[in-house]
Structure 1
């Protein structure tokens, strides 16, 4: 496989110092101009009054409404909010960047278990539902004005309140694009996932996986969907597409090469599935993504 091409990859250096728990930027603006980027710090980003803005996190691309709240807990996951069709003149963006080390001593404690689960899920980037935003709006709104100890206490409170919505929070980037290993609570599902991760370039048969865990095909299909939320074919397709989008972004391989490298055995079928899932062709995805990655 061709090595990733990291040209035009922006690595943001944030203002967060070693002596700070987190950094907050509260901006009132008319537009988004910062390009695609990533950074070592985790990020909670709140956007208000910006309908029509396009939010890109990994290989996820969505148009946001009046409120948007996203948590990214992966230093290698590119993201950007771009103006797109937004005409608002009164946008507010509150960005909170923090390093996991400031809660590392607490994250394994029982009282922080829900925050731990939320941060694990946020490795792919997660978008919170409107109920979570309304529940925590006053905390987000007032946090930029707070200083010292009480700012830390309120930030931890914010993380905890959001963690109560982890199940409802929607995962954004695919795991294969974000380079995240998926770990299931079920040993049987984990065994199958590990096999798929290693052999996604090859033909994978339902019968083969069912035999691997000692189940009938029908029972395994139901069991797998119950545990993962996806049927087997969709799971494999999404994993292959994640690898494909990563290669479209990071390599100079042509689209046919990427198609076969990621386990699709028919170029026209690859293009059709890609467009259905991503609302654009592989070429459009590559071109649009690279336009947003500019050297600073």
Structure 2
């Protein structure tokens, strides 16, 4: 299977990412990322691929994967079948969790769990049942409530004795080897200058490729075309600005690198299935409701 690198986007007010997805979905393929991942299947059955492990999964399958460990869950569904929610996902970086452990001595036992996760861990039904309400609540939680739920989830993973390693003890993740250093340099350049005039020809030259070779290499490593990747990054950053600033749609459009509002609206609708203004209203309403519930509690 071709191996893809997933780019995990965090908002400026997030320490970790909590989300869900259905089927079909773009990251349901053989892929890796530098972040840890907690993955809970909520519907469908199929085959699990983690490192050199191949097995079966069903609803209630809970796994904890370390950085750069290739993985995929392939559901047994009919071609064209749509599943509203296949799984719940939490992703976080090594820097975040290591800083937390340094700050709070009570978290030090979690270092053992992090080390074990490098080979991929699968949990029993009891752990999955305990994790489900926490991961569900994380989808909409705000502020301190998110941290409370996250560390509650980590407690479940760390204290559950019935977990097993998935990949063999001899397996060593080598996913980083699949991404050429030149392409990593391009990805970092894009992050730093996302609002600028980023041209594929310039990035190809930066990486030392011809444009046609760069296009193939970029798609092979990210699973996306160069243009789709840039647009997705810009839309993700615009969501951050829509939620956490009072900038107008026009201002945000130019801040993230789009040259005209009509294209910004078109790309936002393509990537988020909703207009920017409707997205802002919906998320600010959800944020206000979550804050009111926290105050009431």
Aligned to 1:58: 51
Residues 148 and 32 of structure 1: CA distance in aligned 2, closer, same or farther (over 3 Å) = same
Shift of 1:175: 3.2
- Residue 32 of structure 1 contacts residue 81 of structure 1 at CA under 8 Å; is this kept in 2? no
Q: Normalising by structure 1, what TM-score?
A: 0.53
Aligned to 1:153: 148
- Residue 137 of structure 2 contacts residue 149 of structure 2 at CA under 8 Å; is this kept in 1? no
Q: Tell me the alpha carbon deviations over residues 132-191 of structure 1, each in whole angstroms, 9 at most, x when there is no partner.
A: 0112221122111101221012101111122111x31110112322259xxxxxxxxxxx
2:61 to 58, 64, 68: 68
Runs of 4+ in 1 over 6 A off after TM superposition: none
Q: Normalising by structure 2, what TM-score?
A: 0.53
Question: Take 1:119 and 1:31, find their aligned partners in 2: how far apart are those partners?
Answer: 30
Secondary structure of 2:138 counterpart: helix
Question: Take 1:61 and 1:293, find their aligned partners in 2: how far apart are those partners?
Answer: 23
Q: Tell me the alpha carbon deviations over residues 208-237 of structure 1, each in whole angstroms, 9 at most, x when there is no partner.
A: xxxxxxxxxxxxxxxxxxxxxxxxxxxxxx
Shift of 1:124: 0.5
Question: Take 1:104 and 1:18, find their aligned partners in 2: how far apart are those partners?
Answer: 19
- Residue 42 of structure 2 contacts residue 87 of structure 2 at CA under 8 Å; is this kept in 1? yes
Residue correspondence of structure 1 range 133-282 to structure 2 within 5 A: 133-165=128-160, 167-179=161-173
- Residue 143 of structure 1 contacts residue 154 of structure 1 at CA under 8 Å; is this kept in 2? yes
Secondary structure of 1:145 counterpart: coil
Question: Take 1:18 and 1:100, find their aligned partners in 2: how far apart are those partners?
Answer: 17
Residues 175 and 16 of structure 1: CA distance in aligned 2, closer, same or farther (over 3 Å) = farther
Question: Take 1:89 and 1:179, find their aligned partners in 2: how far apart are those partners?
Answer: 31
Question: Take 1:161 and 1:18, find their aligned partners in 2: how far apart are those partners?
Answer: 27
- Runs of at least 5 residues in structure 1 that lack an aligned partner in the other structure: 1-6, 181-245, 251-291
Q: Tell me the alpha carbon deviations over residues 71-125 of structure 1, each in whole angstroms, 9 at most, x when there is no partner.
A: 11122x1111112467894543111110121232332554113322111110101
Question: Take 1:177 and 1:58, find their aligned partners in 2: how far apart are those partners?
Answer: 7
- Residue 16 of structure 1 contacts residue 23 of structure 1 at CA under 8 Å; is this kept in 2? yes
Shift of 1:36: 0.7
Q: Tell me the alpha carbon deviations over residues 179-209 of structure 1, each in whole angstroms, 9 at most, x when there is no partner.
A: 59xxxxxxxxxxxxxxxxxxxxxxxxxxxxx
Residues 9 and 20 of structure 1: CA distance in aligned 2, closer, same or farther (over 3 Å) = same
Shift of 1:25: 1.4
Report the RMSD for the aligned CA atoms in angstroms. 3.1
Matched, 1:12 2:6: yes
Question: Take 2:222 and 2:2, find their aligned partners in 1: how far apart are those partners?
Answer: 5
Residues 62 and 294 of structure 1: CA distance in aligned 2, closer, same or farther (over 3 Å) = farther
- Tell me how many residue pairs correspond in the alignment: 178
Residues 18 and 177 of structure 1: CA distance in aligned 2, closer, same or farther (over 3 Å) = farther
Residues 13 and 88 of structure 1: CA distance in aligned 2, closer, same or farther (over 3 Å) = closer
Question: Take 1:293 and 1:85, find their aligned partners in 2: how far apart are those partners?
Answer: 26
Residues 171 and 139 of structure 1: CA distance in aligned 2, closer, same or farther (over 3 Å) = same
Aligned to 2:115: 120
- Runs of at least 5 residues in structure 2 that lack an aligned partner in the other structure: 179-219, 225-297
2:15 to 16, 21, 28: 21
Question: Take 1:156 and 1:176, find their aligned partners in 2: how far apart are those partners?
Answer: 30
Secondary structure of 1:155 counterpart: helix
